[in-house]
Structure 1
């Protein structure tokens, strides 16, 4: 995949994306945002904002910046932001692999269904780390290759076909995180058949990783507090705080 092809494919999806993918991926988006525990004036970047399906889900006391390479998808996102009067949202056409933001501009970076839909996932992940502040969090919602050898083999076979549709199926979470400063704080399987994973990472650049007594990375909210997550009996994550 190259950037021009990605832009062309997703612009062609713009008019039908919500109808085809909206309901299928809704649970994952809702889970990602519901568990953010967003602080007042928190700066959040959504990479690959698409048609803006998630934008109305964010609380209005934070500041949202959304970027997307596809002009067609971004046009739909702007329409949605205007319809819902989302004055706390700014949208820009931008390459996720070469963002035009200063280092450490955001407290939280969200990338839903992005890292397997770009030509170079390493560039995108490194850019997300760069623009996210030390101790901030990076949330990835994505399908990653399955640990089951039979399913993984099938994913590898069909990946060349799905690339023509705009994504790949053979990328593992280990490959995405390898060599980065990201530390996994929580992981939850979501969406139909639980083939997608919601992964929250703490941005450990400059050595800024806080850990709890169990050695799990926890997110620093910027006010001197660390936030950790516990799984409840329903498989969802509830927030807890350690000071």
Structure 2
């Protein structure tokens, strides 16, 4: 009887948290080969289609990083390298991506701009080939909703981040509005063909990745994109 009484007094927040920890993140499943093909196709037009429209979020993300001289920063899903020139030159930048076509664009950009503090590697975000606690900041811009296993990626990001370091996600997540969320679930299998699932559940993602955000901010116009900042404890 005592256990039943305790269960009845659970708060709404606890109930929601428990549900988030077990519910599906998205209706759309993808594999690495599919993701690679999508981004190989997008490589030549990515900067034109997703460059200016998503740029305010990139700027705000860098502000939230609180970068210090000498910081080691890992960008997970570096894409065409659109962020590379934005980092201070007195930091060490490592950018990884699964798509060779996107990385080729990034290499061209880094060479063209003469960025000596950037290295680019082809790598699966679900299996980062770095030591534990290797980076001060680990950042995933416009990536987490298209990978096969978002939770695994977040766990890897956390693993390679130093204690007290920042783990940052810039992404679209499922709307809390019931009508909008239904629409986002319906179109998610189509949206993944242009680079992201439209229905990734943010509370479920954070709960299952065991991450506690210090801030969640809406960015870009329209404000359907979120900047999520976590600190590794």
State the alpha-carbon separation in 2 of the partners of residues 179 and 119 from structure 1: 15
Contact 2:151 2:209 in 1 (8 A): no
TM-score (norm 1): 0.81
The answer to whether 1:180 aligns with 2:209 is yes
Structure with the largest fraction of strand: 1
Helix, strand or coil: the match of 2:209?
coil
The answer to whether 1:39 aligns with 2:68 is yes
Contact 1:132 1:203 in 2 (8 A): yes
Higher mean C-alpha deviation, range 119-128 or range 177-186: 177-186
Q: Give the number of the structure with larger relative contact order, counting CA–CA contacts within 8 Å between residues 6 or more apart.
A: 2
Q: Alignment length, in residue pairs?
A: 204
| Deviation of 1:187 (Å) | 1.8
State the alpha-carbon separation in 2 of the partners of residues 36 and 120 from structure 1: 24
Aligned to 2:175: 146
Aligned to 1:4: 33
Moved >4 Å (runs of 4+): none
Aligned to 1:114: 143
Aligned to 2:164: 135
| Deviation of 1:164 (Å) | 3.0
Helix, strand or coil: the match of 2:65?
coil
TM-score (norm 2): 0.85
| Deviation of 1:85 (Å) | 1.1
Helix, strand or coil: the match of 2:90?
coil
Structure with the largest fraction of helix: 2
The answer to whether 1:170 aligns with 2:167 is no
Contact 1:181 1:203 in 2 (8 A): no
Which segments of 5 or more consecutive residues in structure 1 lack a partner in the other structure?
Answer: 205-243
Superposition CA RMSD, Å = 1.1
State the alpha-carbon separation in 2 of the partners of residues 132 and 181 from structure 1: 14
- The structure that has the greater radius of gyration is 2
